[in-house]
Amino acid sequence: MPAKLHVDKLLDDPATKVIVCCGSGGVGKTTTAAALAARAAERGRRTVVLTIDPARRLAQSLGLRELDNTPRQVAVEGFDTEDRLHAMMLDMRRTFDDMVLAHAGPDRAEQILSNPFYQTISSSFSGTQEYMAMEKLGQLAADGSWDLIVVDTPPSRSALDFLDAPQRLSTVLDGRIIRLLSAPARAGGRGLLKLVGAGFGLFTKAISTIIGGQLLADASAFVQAFDSMFGGFRERAQKTYQLLRSPGTAFLVVAAPEPDALREASYFVERLAAESMPLAGLVLNRTHPVLAKLPAGKALAAAEELDRANESPLAAGVLRLHADRVAVATREQRLLARFTKAHPSVAVTGVPALAEDVHDLAGLREIGRRLAGE
Amino acid sequence: MRPPRLGVVTTPIVGWTEELTRARLHVVTGKGGTGKTTVAAALAIALATGGRRVLLVEVEERQGIAQLFDRAPLPYAEERIASAPGGGELRALAVDADAAFMEYLAMFYNLGFAGRTLRRMGAIEFVTTLAPGLRDVLQTGKVKECVGRTDDAGRHMYDHVVLDAPPTGRVVKFLDVTKAVQDVAKVGPIKGQSEGVVRLLHSGDTAVHLVTLLEEMPVRETLDAVAELDGADLRPGAVFVNRVRPARLANRSVSAAAGGRVDADRLRAGLTTAGLALAEDEFQGLVEETVEHAVRVRAEQRARELLAEADLPAVELPDLVDGVDVGALYELAETLVDQGVR
């Protein structure tokens, strides 16, 4: 049996400042983050939940029509936390714009913001969302007005993207390659040029044929304008990275009892350990624990007997659905046991599935109770 | 005796249509977590049944096919991974965008050693960042090449190609090559190549299938995706309702139990008849399980009704409690063949 993850202890501990919910897509990260935040607020902590999901599911479940780029107080009738629960949704484009405005002079900022390449990078590069989530987390933490910040992570196919994507964006922005592409002769690495040799000119030519010289020129102008503020960017990202490694942060890996989701969870647990990031435990969503001890074989035999005697279809149906449930629970336990074998020290809390999707606060509170094992 | 009528809404399941049998490229998409890759693999086996050759392609660099078939990661090459009943053959390809890009460049330029070095430096990632649509164009381009390839006798190399595509949220952007190319290449070889891709994707040779579960969110995403596909003039194919679980109660018991009303006396009497004397807490546990089951069945009924709005042919796949291994894929494929997939 894995150690039990005590969610209330984690939420109540004043030393817990940041909770990051990670996991692969479709495992219920957003719902988990919102439920944790609501529960923390009810238990007396001034809490903000930062969500990044473009489907705006959190907005729906918190009864909000719209979440903009700043924390909004969650005011739902019958939910009494005074003013302790706030929620926001990341607007990555606006976060990026704000960063540029804060770091570049007005003229230069204007130049960057209107560059077509900037518009591509700030709205559709696959690492931007993660980078901006980190930036926003950094801002919220620096703000100092929160007891607890709960962060949902972008809906990527891999949980690791959250840690890897900012580095990817850095590589693009730091401009080494763009300098090579736009003006190879002036690029810093002469050794590199020698290595790449004549093929390089061909490559540049091929690229500009394919994507057009204009795009390349835009990119080059962007990188030049961006260069002066890049140090500031990197410094901020570094600071947030340190925040993630600090003892006030708790990572919760969220998974569903499915092989793919648990495999992702495994990778993530290993990665956190490698980066010395503090893991609080695994949230196993949507489990189906058995509620009556009756063995499946016995239930099925009894159901068949009832069918043969043409008696009580209700009881026969109930016995069959119980046997189905035992089979599902057995499989889920087997999958969890496999995970625990590989990661014996990771504490786990199972969240029994609700029969229907959560889309209101009552549902979130119920999830919160289940998270806490009530 | 006849089994009691179970709580299943009998939405007419249209099954595989004549129109779908004419498609040669089957694009499979769905919300994350609905079992897209599993369905794509089962569909590929079903289509290969009876002696045909089918190629299963993935594009997300996830190695989902290799995991499903329990083998080492696939290289960027078409490899035989399984056989299908009746002498069919299944091959698989994991399209790696970087490799496709280098392959593409090599068709026009001889980069030699520089190509590999640039790749290591992340130059390709950089270029695909400059022009995000490029990655999609290269991948769909590779798929098109596989669909169109012929042998010496002029016959198609593959009878069908099944594409495990990006999830519903991204699939239209992925397939809408016209738009991507407008943004990327105004001239040059990419433009010429992509015109062929556009023709294929918008023709009757291509069907875009949607995988869903009987839950509200995936069904809503399916409906959104259908509208989006229609808007982009891409052809939705069939809906694959995945992981369908058996309903164990009669319809009227479902409505009562979903409202929290389980006839305890009748249930207890039935259990006693079957020779089961349960302790009170165990009995209450059974009642609670019954209520949860009924609420779920009712939610599934609503999901079915909602799904009917899509007005598409539908096929169903059962939930496999023991999980999906290679053997299970063949079972799923058989279910598909039984529903007319060919």
Contacts of B67 in chain A (CB under 8 A): 260
Q: Closest Cα of chain B to A82: distance in Å?
A: 31
Identify the pLDDT of residue A256.
93
Residue type, B217: M
How many domains is chain B partitioned into structurally? 1
By CB atoms closer than 10 A (0-12, 13-18, 19+), residue B152 is: exposed
Contacts of A27 in chain B (CB under 8 A): 33
Q: Closest Cα of chain B to A165: distance in Å?
A: 12
- Segment A264-286 mean pLDDT: 92
How many domains is chain A partitioned into structurally? 1
Q: Closest Cα of chain A to B241: distance in Å?
A: 17
Low-confidence ranges of chain B (pLDDT < 50): 1-12
The region of weakest confidence among A39-53, A193-207, A303-317, B245-259 is: A193-207
Contacts of B222 in chain A (CB under 8 A): none
Contact at CB, B270 and A306, closer than 8 angstroms: yes
Contact at CB, A155 and B32, closer than 8 angstroms: yes
By three-state DSSP, how is residue B16 classified? coil
Identify the pLDDT of residue B112.
63
- Segment A185-190 mean pLDDT: 45
Contact at CB, B266 and A312, closer than 8 angstroms: yes
Q: Indicate whether B6 belongs to any domain.
A: no
Q: Which band of pLDDT confidence, cut at 50, 70 and 90, is reported for residue A155?
A: low
Q: Indicate whether B159 belongs to any domain.
A: yes
Of A275 and A57, more confident: A275
Q: Indicate whether A318 belongs to any domain.
A: no
Contact at CB, A203 and B114, closer than 8 angstroms: yes
Q: Which residues contact B139 (CB under 8 A, 6 or more apart)?
A: B59, B95, B97, B100, B174
Domain with B221, as residue range(s), is 18-249+307-334
Q: Note the Cα B170 to chain centre separation in Å.
A: 14
Instruction: Please give the ipTM for the structure prediction.
Output: 0.85
Sheet containing strand A279-287, strands side by side: A72-73, A85-89, A47-51, A148-152, A18-22, A249-255, A279-287, A348-352
Q: Indicate whether A196 belongs to any domain.
A: yes
Determine the length of chain A.
Answer: 374
Q: Which residues contact B137 (CB under 8 A, 6 or more apart)?
A: B177, B180, B181, B184, B185, B190, B194, B197
Contact at CB, B250 and A200, closer than 8 angstroms: no
Q: What pTM, to 2 d.p., does this model score? A: 0.85
Identify the pLDDT of residue B9.
45
Identify the pLDDT of residue B253.
93
Contact at CB, A259 and B323, closer than 8 angstroms: yes
Q: Indicate whether A1 belongs to any domain.
A: no
Residue type, B105: L
At B251, list the tokens.
């319809």
Contact at CB, B286 and A309, closer than 8 angstroms: no
What CATH number is associated with residue B239? 3.40.50.300
Question: Phi/psi zone of residue B260: left (φ > 0), alpha (ψ -120 to 50 degrees), beta?
Answer: left
Q: Closest Cα of chain B to A244: distance in Å?
A: 27
Q: Indicate whether B120 belongs to any domain.
A: yes
Domain with A145, as residue range(s), is 7-293+326-371
Q: Indicate whether A314 belongs to any domain.
A: no
CB burial string A81-101: b at 16+ within 10 A, e below: beebbbbbbbbbeebbbbbbe
Of B85 and A217, more confident: B85
The region of weakest confidence among A254-258, A313-317, B133-137 is: B133-137
CB B136 within 8 A of CB B173: yes
User: Which of B105, B285, B292 lies nearest to residue A206, judging by beta carbons?
Assistant: B105
Q: Indicate whether A299 belongs to any domain.
A: no
User: Which of B118, B167, B274 lies nearest to residue A196, judging by beta carbons?
Assistant: B118
Q: Indicate whether B102 belongs to any domain.
A: yes
Contact at CB, B132 and A124, closer than 8 angstroms: yes
Of A197 and B200, more confident: B200
Q: Indicate whether A304 belongs to any domain.
A: no
Find the residue in B nearest to A222 (Cα).
Answer: B130
The region of weakest confidence among A118-127, A232-241, B66-75, B137-146 is: A118-127
Percent helix, percent strand, percent coil in chain B, to nearest 5: 50, 15, 35
Hey, is the C-beta of B87 within 8 angstroms of any chain A C-beta? no
Identify the pLDDT of residue A53.
63
Q: Indicate whether B132 belongs to any domain.
A: yes
Contact at CB, B248 and A320, closer than 8 angstroms: yes
CA torsion A195-A196-A197-A202 (nearest 10°) is 180
Q: Indicate whether B297 belongs to any domain.
A: no
Q: Indicate whether B215 belongs to any domain.
A: yes
Contact at CB, A219 and B130, closer than 8 angstroms: yes
The region of weakest confidence among A178-192, A252-266, B202-216 is: A178-192
Strand partners, A4: A348
Identify the pLDDT of residue B68.
92
Q: Indicate whether B266 belongs to any domain.
A: no
Q: Which band of pLDDT confidence, cut at 50, 70 and 90, is reported for residue A259?
A: confident
- Interval A338-371: pLDDT, tens: 999 999 999 999 999 987 777 778 888 999 999 9
Contacts of A171 in chain B (CB under 8 A): 122, 125-126
What CATH number is associated with residue A181? 3.40.50.300
CB B296 within 8 A of CB B216: no
Identify the pLDDT of residue A187.
45
- Segment A161-172 mean pLDDT: 70
Q: Indicate whether A258 belongs to any domain.
A: yes
Instruction: Give CA–CA dist B128/B144, Å, rounded.
Output: 20
